[in-house]
Amino acid sequence: MIIYSCIENLLQYAQSHLLLDDLDVIYVRNKLMQSLKLEDYVQYETDVDAIEEMTCPDAVLNPIVDYAVENGIITEDGREEFADRIMDTVSLKPSEIVDMFESLHSTSPAKAFDWLYDYSIKNDYVKQTKIAKNKHWEAKATKGKIEITINLSRPEKNNKDTAKLLKQKNTSYPPCMICKENEGYAGHGVYRQTLRTVPLTLGGEEWFWQFSPYSYFNQHGIAVNAEHTPMKVDTSTVQKLLDFIDYNPSYFIGCNAALPIVGGSILTHDHFQAGLKQLPMHKAPCLKRFKSAEYPYIDTCIVDWYNSVIRLESTNKKMLVEYAGKIIEAWKNYTDESVDVIAADENGQHNAVTPIARKSADGKYIVELILRNNRTSEQFPDGIYHVHPEYQNIKSESIGLIEAMGLFILPGRLDRQLAEVQQYLTREVKYSREKLADDMKVHADMIEKLMKENPKCTPKEAELNVKDEVSRVCECILDNTAVFKKDEAGNAAFEKFLSSLDIEAK
């Protein structure tokens, strides 16, 4: 039977890519037979060379999952959970992963993280095939080339998915979706059987590292506090970020602001995002240099970027942590009503900071502090420094640290919607505002603007015009997030804030 050949292919794949020991093959084969409800077995030859060239398990995994569905072992809805269970069976245990990672890290941090990322692809935790579906382009931007991705790797939830979630029982285990207890967990619609983590010590605390299954960029992952504790940003945060880049100097790492609207989607558990990527903001030059009276030997500048960013550079880790921490605490309490900056009011804390750390090629520590504020108003009920209403057809979710640095992750719905917009521009489909589908009505103003600017387009011209418009909107969104606007009043207010800390222009 074909299923026996499929099992042998998977076992060979595990030996070639997942470090399955020859001594464990019979044991693992029997575990697979149990999952597939097989009692007899016929061994088949495999094409070892072809399997060794595979970069992910799709070709050996999918036929096994298909067999399980066709033979009533699982339902169609059970594909994801079953696939994870099968790959977990042929993967190394968490302790074995840690042993291998730490052995590699002792000689080369980069090789250790490369190996773990590759392993996470090979055991199907990082969904490489789905990630490859994402659409990506660089914008013709005014302050560095911002990058835009339409996220097609993670399917959008439909009404049936929402109904399932409503029927699920509340649970205290795992406490949240990024807690350590998720390693190997399957339940309540969460499948983490193939998740593997490695321990970290940051700021003297126990943390751990894991990669993201739907990476936004190369080796995208998160460092997570081993304790389920709320997000916070203070001096100790900077210490932890710099500890991490000592542990892996090839990565950048950043922390979302610990407030809603301007923060990340998970504020209940302290964590950072990191990866092997130079983001657009990292490439932005200094706009104006400053000097601190208290820390004169730390390079300080305002970055020539859309939002309000302070960049600090030094080889002195201890002094840099202190300096950045003082700026963070000062901003939390800083008010300048002349430019609509209010630190806190009866509705709570509003000022917050998104800190990012990395190392330069010559070994300097670089800390960038993005100043944020989450106030709302009658004019901007979703946030004064959030995406303004006229741009929310493209992006309405919070602008976290990755997007604040110029890499936009746009919702998958846009792939279909923007294709429809292009049809109106080529006049392939006749435009009528009244006849637009409900989910297209949000784009009506944009469609009419583009049609007026482009009387008739070829399909290629239409595609480029739509991309340029999305790029323009993303630039405007970044401008929206700036607490100090790029005008005379905003520039003066930014310098006034720095002056309050005895940081003066050179």
Asked which of 163-177, 413-427, 446-460, 476-490 is least confident by mean pLDDT, the reply is 163-177
Dihedral sign, Cα of residue 330, residue 331, residue 337, residue 343:
negative
The per-residue DSSP string of 415-472 comes to HHHHHHHHHHHTTSS---GGGS-GGGGGGHHHHHHHHHH-SS--HHHHHHHHHHHHHH
Angle between helices 58-70 and 2-17 (to 10 degrees): 150
- In three-state secondary structure terms, 45 is coil
Structure tokens at 15: 């030996």
Residues 339, 486 contacting (CB under 8 angstroms) = no
pLDDT-derived band at 156 (thresholds 50, 70, 90) equals low
pLDDT tens, residue by residue, 446-466: 999 999 999 889 999 999 999
Tell whether the model's pLDDT for residue 155 goes beyond 90. no
Which helix H or strand E contains 368, and what residues bound it?
strand 365-373
Q: Please give the single-letter amino acid code of residue 390.
A: E
**Residue 160 pLDDT:** 45
Distance CA 413, CA 473 (A): 17
pLDDT-derived band at 145 (thresholds 50, 70, 90) equals confident
Residues 212, 126 contacting (CB under 8 angstroms) = yes
Q: Please give the single-letter amino acid code of residue 75.
A: T
Tell whether the model's pLDDT for residue 168 goes beyond 90. no
Strand partners, 200: 207
Distance CA 355, CA 233 (A): 8
**Residue 169 pLDDT:** 53
How far is the CA of 207 from the CAs of 7, 96, 213, 432, in angstroms?
37, 18, 19, 55
Q: Which of 322, 306, 232, 223 is nearest to 272 (CA)?
A: 223
Q: Which of 255, 252, 262 is nearest to 224 (CA)?
A: 255
Structure tokens at 86: 């099968």
Strands 407-410 and 147-150: parallel
Distance CA 4, CA 33 (A): 9
Distance CA 333, CA 497 (A): 11
Neighbours of 98 (CB within 10 A): 17
Tell whether the model's pLDDT for residue 129 goes beyond 50. yes
Q: What number is the average pLDDT over the span 216-233? A: 97
**Residue 164 pLDDT:** 47
CA 448 vs. chain centroid, Å, equals 33
Q: Which of 425, 426, 424, 422 is nearest to 435 (CA)?
A: 424
Work out the widest C-alpha separation in the chain, in whole angstroms: 80
Residue 389 DSSP symbol: G
Q: What number is the average pLDDT over the span 336-340? A: 95
Distance CA 126, CA 335 (A): 44
pLDDT tens, residue by residue, 23-49: 999 999 999 999 999 999 998 999 999
How would you label 437-455 residue by residue, b for 16+ Cβ within 10 Å and e otherwise? eeebeebeebbeebbeebe
Neighbours of 381 (CB within 10 A): 10
Neighbours of 122 (CB within 10 A): 23
**Residue 144 pLDDT:** 75
% of the chain surpassing 70 pLDDT: 96
**Residue 159 pLDDT:** 41
Tell whether the model's pLDDT for residue 493 goes beyond 70. yes
Asked which of 151-160, 207-216, 237-246, 408-417 is least confident by mean pLDDT, the reply is 151-160
pLDDT tens, residue by residue, 279-310: 999 999 999 999 999 999 999 999 999 999 99
**Residue 283 pLDDT:** 95
Position with higher pLDDT, 170 vs 349: 349
pLDDT-derived band at 190 (thresholds 50, 70, 90) equals confident
How confident is the prediction for the chain on average, in pLDDT?
94
pLDDT-derived band at 166 (thresholds 50, 70, 90) equals very low
**Residue 171 pLDDT:** 67
Structure tokens at 204: 């003297």
Neighbours of 418 (CB within 10 A): 21
Tell whether the model's pLDDT for residue 158 goes beyond 60. no
